[in-house]
Amino acid sequence: MSLMHADQSTSRRPAATAAVMGWLLVATLPGIATLTWHFGWGVLTNVACAAALGVGLEAAMLRLRRRPVAPTLADNSALVAGVLLGASLPPGSAWWLILIGMVAAVVVAKQLYGGLGHNPFNPAMVGYALLLVSFPVPMSLWAAPTGLVGPEALTLGEVLRQFAGLVPTETLDALSGATPLDAFKHKPAGVMAAEFWAGSPLPEGALSAWHQVALAWLAGGLLLLYKRIIGWQIPIAMLATLTLVAALFYGASPSHQGSPLFHLLGGAAVFGAFFIATDPVSAATSRRGKLLYGAGIGALVMLIRPLGAYPDAVAFAVLLMNFAVPLIDYYTEPRVYGHAAARRGIKAEAGEDGR
Amino acid sequence: MAERLDFPGGITPPTRKARSTQAPLREAPLPSRVVLPLAQHAGAPAEPCVEVGQRVRTGEPIARAVGLVSADVHASVTGRVAAIEERPLHDGGRGPCVVIEGEGEDDWWPLPPLDWRTADEASLLARLDGSGVVGLGGAAFPTQVKARIRELHEVDTLVVNAAECEPYISADDLTLRHHAAEVLEGARMMARLAGASRLLVGIEDDKPEARQALEAAIATSRDDEPPIELRVIATRYPSGGERQLIKRLLGREVPSGGLPADVGAHCHNPGTLRAALLAVRDGRPLVDRVVTLTGEALARPGNVVARLGTPIAELLATAGLDASRLHRLVMGGPMMGRALGELALPVIKATNCLIAATREELPDPPPEQPCIRCGACEEACPAILLPQQLYWFARGQEHDKAERFHLFDCIECGACDYVCPSHIPLVQYFRAEKDAIRARRREAARADHARHRFEFRQARLAREEAEKQARRAARKEAATRGGRRHAGEGQAAEPATDLRSLRIAQTAAKAAERKAEKALARAAESGEDDPAVIADLETQLATARENLKAAEARLQAARDAEENAP
């Protein structure tokens, strides 16, 4: 066994789990900053509350499970789950919504399965999917891109009132605007795509705001790739498949379907590809497995968006592919040195072949 | 080229070799007392052939090899045998050792020099056998056993493994700087024994001095056969792994569970080649070796030629050990070596490097954290395994799955440990899992062995019966023939069974015998150190031989009957 460790050498990839998670947090900064710039203080209250709840709930669960609290918290993974869920929720979500989401993510999806490294499902997406299914109204009230400092921007005080749950839903509804994917999905069937865009049903600047947010996530994702914290396989496979399937839909019916670019940049695809699908714990593990896993997510997203009931589908696609991970792992083992070919899957009777 | 001429993965840790390569190779002072373990090689421990109180000279055999895989041990100083007793060994256990109290003189026990170019192969092999030469790269596999490769395999290329990829170690580097010509001559000798027509030297590019020495030695021996080709490869751990080097130099992949000879290659470490040459050319058995002394706790690091059996403490003292700074003592390299519990242990044939490390240099690993399946280990694995999955199976005691995911193709190089961000000692888990699986197999093997013994008994009884029948038939035949002479026309002897099926049975029995022989030879060659396995294979071979004898007796009887029939 090795007595030396990579922390003794200067490599690009961080050598400790805490540092891996730390870099992940750093990589979310451009995305969160851009979201905040366009959608106001509500993004920051989301992220701060979710992160604090993540750490608090993890600490409480570790104590209940009689595990060492401080060293485990120091791996920063709870913080990451909080930040990712916080960044996914509609800006200015009420505290109880965030709490329910984080309980589902940290307590149920992560700690009840045995903590970091043992969860078969992506914790942040379990929380998100639960909220999306259980609380469709607050989850669809996405704030209009009024900006952080613009004339229509909400002040921090107003956002805190929203956060405290003191603003009635009707008022919130008035303040919110649909996301581009949502609006496009719910356009009347008779309306052509060109008419839809000409009618400009979206709040002013919404589409470009979403594009900028997607590009900011992309910047963070490239940082993760450069630091070798994530492999290229999952994001590239996911985005490529998504583009391909979107192109097929678009090619079949350009008058009614969104363009591939719209699907790439209009929703959570980039964020999902670099920050959600790449969660190594719940993703497939071999390199070829990662390609399959990413492709599966991309395809599912693009099947659910036009055909399913939800305008965006990254959470469901990731969770569905999480189910498939053990199967993918068995069937994508690489060809091991000294073996003529890779074996596929597990035979019912392992037999006595091999050594 | 379709096949990539390289192995995947690998790591580039800091090499930390410069500390021990500044000083030239030097001779360590003659120890006053040596401790020579009888099991310092792969295979069975040697059997002592001296008595307490007996005077022995340097180079005199003190223990003889036992069984198929084993090696002789020789006195490394001149003096009296002070004790033959159990003493602590490097693996933490205890084992028999011969202790020699030196006289301070170095009186050699001479062996006649041999010319390897003219001597016949049998005497060369016998000399290697009698000189206790083993692989000096760390595995200590008996060289003589390895040199018999030709009996079973076609070898076309002999590879001199001068990669020395593990950090800290520079014993091969210094050996080459000082003795490149002898190493190459040894390589030619071993190439002759292996029947190899091609000689490749693989060296990493961080050893320019050794490389120059090799180039000079190759230039001066240009006319000798076979020609030597020097290949400089980029420094990357573990390119000195036999399988990795063969892949990198020849583009061939050693099959899983097989030997390099299965793809026509044969690897030797430079130190081993020189030791083999000295044993043959100068009649000098293996009594010393080059040891790298390094680590921050040493004031004068470097490489020394040390007599086997020298206490490590004595050797480190000559290099200026600061005991207060010593945090960890490692034999071998930091990746695959083992931490030694005490300084009193002796230098053995496998001691290529001793690292006296300070706490800052090789710190205690931080606590293990959960695996997040980040895949860093997978990228580093030179065997293309999925260490993260194997770890999972090892922890869950899922033996079948661990085997199915090729646990036994792990070469335990430690590259995964090195990169793991959760500081999981993966190789430790893999070793424990391999042990658990082997224990399970031993259970199964015991049951098989009982069955094989029963089969042997059955075969022996059948053979005796067949021979008895044959004798009886012969007697009867002789009697009828005699009677026929007198009585003229006799009754026709009936051929007992038809000859054809007996011939087939005999051929099949012969094939079975050959198969059993091969299995035994292969086990011996691959260094099978479990005597139960060898015993079982021997039983199976004996059974096959009994069956063959029985078949031959039956066939012979039938032939006789045929011949004598009208």
Q: Is residue A3 part of a domain?
A: no
Q: Are residues A167 and A191 in the same domain?
A: no
* Count of C-beta atoms within a 10 Å radius of residue A168: 9
Q: Are residues A30 and A167 in the same domain?
A: yes
Phi, psi for B237 (deg, rounded to 5): -80, 140
pLDDT digits (tens, 9 = 90+) for A46-84: 999 999 999 999 999 999 999 889 888 888 999 999 999
What is the pLDDT at residue A343?
65
Choosing from A127, A155, A176, the residue where a domain stops is A176
| Closest to A316 measured CA to CA, from A330, A302, A326, A331 | A302
Q: Is residue A111 part of a domain?
A: yes
Q: Is residue A326 part of a domain?
A: yes
What is the pLDDT at residue B462?
87
DSSP state of A150: S
CB B389 within 8 A of CB A285: yes
Q: Express the helix, strand and coil content of chain B in percent, nearest 5 each.
A: 45, 15, 40
Q: Are residues B284 and B403 in the same domain?
A: no
Mark yes or no for CB contact A3/B330 under 8 Å: yes
CB B353 within 8 A of CB B112: no
pLDDT digits (tens, 9 = 90+) for B373-385: 888 899 999 999 9
Q: Are residues B430 and B461 in the same domain?
A: no
Q: Are residues A313 and A286 in the same domain?
A: yes
Count how many pairs of residues, chain A against chain B, have C-beta atoms within 8 Å. Answer: 152
Question: Which value does ipTM take for this structure?
Answer: 0.85
Q: Which residues contact A351 (CB under 8 A, 6 or more apart)?
A: none
What is the pLDDT at residue A183?
81
What is the pLDDT at residue B365?
86
Q: Is residue A126 part of a domain?
A: yes
Mark yes or no for CB contact B378/A335 under 8 Å: no
Smallest CA–CA distance, residue B362 to chain A, in Å, is 6
Mark yes or no for CB contact B384/A337 under 8 Å: yes
Q: Are residues A65 and A133 in the same domain?
A: yes
pLDDT digits (tens, 9 = 90+) for B513-536: 999 888 888 887 776 667 777 888
Q: Is residue B9 part of a domain?
A: no
Q: Are residues B430 and B467 in the same domain?
A: no
Q: How far is CA B562 from CA A26, B328, B498, in A?
A: 93, 78, 9
Q: Which of A16, A20, A286 sits opposite B378 (nearest CB)?
A: A286
Residue of B nearest to A230 (CA): B374
What is the pLDDT at residue B34?
95
User: Could you tell me the two tokens for A299?
Assistant: 């395809």
Q: Which of B373, B408, B421 sits opposite A15 (nearest CB)?
A: B421
CB A18 within 8 A of CB A73: no
Smallest CA–CA distance, residue A227 to chain B, in Å, is 12
Q: Are residues B386 and B264 in the same domain?
A: no
Helix (H, G, I), strand (E, B) or coil at A4: coil
Count of structural domains, chain A: 2
Mark yes or no for CB contact B409/A4 under 8 Å: no
Residue A51's Cβ-count burial label (10 Å; 0-12, 13-18, 19+) is buried
What is the pLDDT at residue A354?
39
Q: Express the helix, strand and coil content of chain A in percent, nearest 5 each.
A: 65, 0, 35
- Binding positions of B for [4Fe-4S] cluster: 371, 374, 377, 381, 410, 413, 416, 420
* Interatomic CA distance for residues A239 and B497, integer angstroms: 76
- Chosen for mutation from B6, B331, B372, B429 (greatest number of chain A CBs closer than 10 Å) is B372
What is the pLDDT at residue B17?
93
- Chosen for mutation from B245, B406, B423 (greatest number of chain A CBs closer than 10 Å) is B406
What is the pLDDT at residue B179?
95
Mark yes or no for CB contact A9/B371 under 8 Å: no
Work out the average pLDDT over B181-189: 95
* HEC-encoded secondary structure of B302-340: EEEEEECCCEHHHHHHHCCECCCCCCEEEECCCCCCEEE
| Closest to B257 measured CA to CA, from B537, B530, B534, B526 | B526
Residues of chain B with pLDDT > 90, as a percent, come to 62
Q: Are residues A17 and A95 in the same domain?
A: yes
Q: Are residues B416 and B510 in the same domain?
A: no
* Interatomic CA distance for residues A291 and A299, integer angstroms: 12
| Closest to A60 measured CA to CA, from A121, A103, A2 | A103
Smallest CA–CA distance, residue A57 to chain B, in Å, is 19
User: Could you tell me the two tokens for A217?
Assistant: 């996530």
Choosing from B276, B294, B312, the residue where a domain stops is B294
Q: Is the pLDDT of residue B245 over 60?
A: yes
* Interatomic CA distance for residues B226 and B249, integer angstroms: 17
Q: Are residues B145 and B264 in the same domain?
A: yes
pLDDT digits (tens, 9 = 90+) for A95-143: 999 999 999 999 999 999 999 989 999 999 999 999 999 999 889 888 8
Strand partners, B526: none
Q: Are residues B427 and B463 in the same domain?
A: no
Residue numbers in A near B169 (CB within 8 A): none
Q: Which residues contact B314 (CB under 8 A, 6 or more apart)?
A: B31
Tell me how many helices (H) and strands (E) chain B has. Answer: 15, 17
pLDDT digits (tens, 9 = 90+) for B334-344: 999 989 988 88
User: Could you tell me the two tokens for A33?
Assistant: 């900053």
Give pLDDT < 70 ranges for chain A: 1, 10, 200-201, 343-355
Q: Are residues B135 and B204 in the same domain?
A: yes
Range of the domain at B119: 18-22+113-294
Q: Is residue B303 part of a domain?
A: no
Q: Are residues A98 and A34 in the same domain?
A: yes
Residue numbers in B near A76 (CB within 8 A): none
Q: Is the pLDDT of residue B36 over 60?
A: yes
Choosing from B239, B263, B294, the residue where a domain stops is B294
* Interatomic CA distance for residues A234 and A240, integer angstroms: 10
| Closest to B374 measured CA to CA, from A90, A20, A135, A271 | A20
Beginning with the edge strand found earlier in the chain, give each strand of the sheet holding B73-74 in spatial order.
B47-48, B61-64, B73-74
Q: Are residues B394 and B449 in the same domain?
A: no
* Interatomic CA distance for residues B221 and B228, integer angstroms: 9
Q: Which of B369, B375, B428 sits opposite A1 (nearest CB)?
A: B428
- Binding positions of B: 371, 374, 377, 381, 410, 413, 416, 420
Residues of chain B with pLDDT > 70, as a percent, come to 95
What is the pLDDT at residue B482?
64
What part of A 220-259 touches B (C-beta under 8 Å)? Answer: 229, 231
Mark yes or no for CB contact A2/B371 under 8 Å: no
Q: Are residues A108 and A49 in the same domain?
A: yes
pLDDT digits (tens, 9 = 90+) for B323-376: 999 999 999 999 999 899 888 899 999 999 999 999 999 998 888 889 998 888
Q: Are residues B431 and B518 in the same domain?
A: no
pLDDT digits (tens, 9 = 90+) for B49-77: 999 999 999 999 999 998 888 999 999 99
**A281 in contact with B at a CB cutoff of 8 Å?**
yes
Helix (H, G, I), strand (E, B) or coil at A171: helix
Range with the lowest mean pLDDT among A101-115, B252-266, B531-545? B531-545
Count of structural domains, chain B: 3
Range of the domain at A188: 183-334
CB B210 within 8 A of CB B162: yes
Residue numbers in B near A81 (CB within 8 A): none
Q: What one-character-per-residue DSSP string does A27-71 give? A: HHHHHHHHHHHHH-HHHHHHHHHHHHHHHHHHHHHHHHTT--HHH
Residue B441's Cβ-count burial label (10 Å; 0-12, 13-18, 19+) is middle
Q: Are residues A287 and A323 in the same domain?
A: yes
Q: Residue written as tokens 């959960």?
A: B370
Q: What is the CATH number of the domain that holds B199?
A: 3.40.50.11540
Average pLDDT, whole number, for chain B?
Answer: 89
Residue of B nearest to A115 (CA): B370
pTM, 2 dp: 0.82
**A70 in contact with B at a CB cutoff of 8 Å?**
no
Choosing from B435, B455, B472, the residue where a domain stops is B435
Q: Are residues A139 and A76 in the same domain?
A: yes
Mark yes or no for CB contact B389/A329 under 8 Å: yes
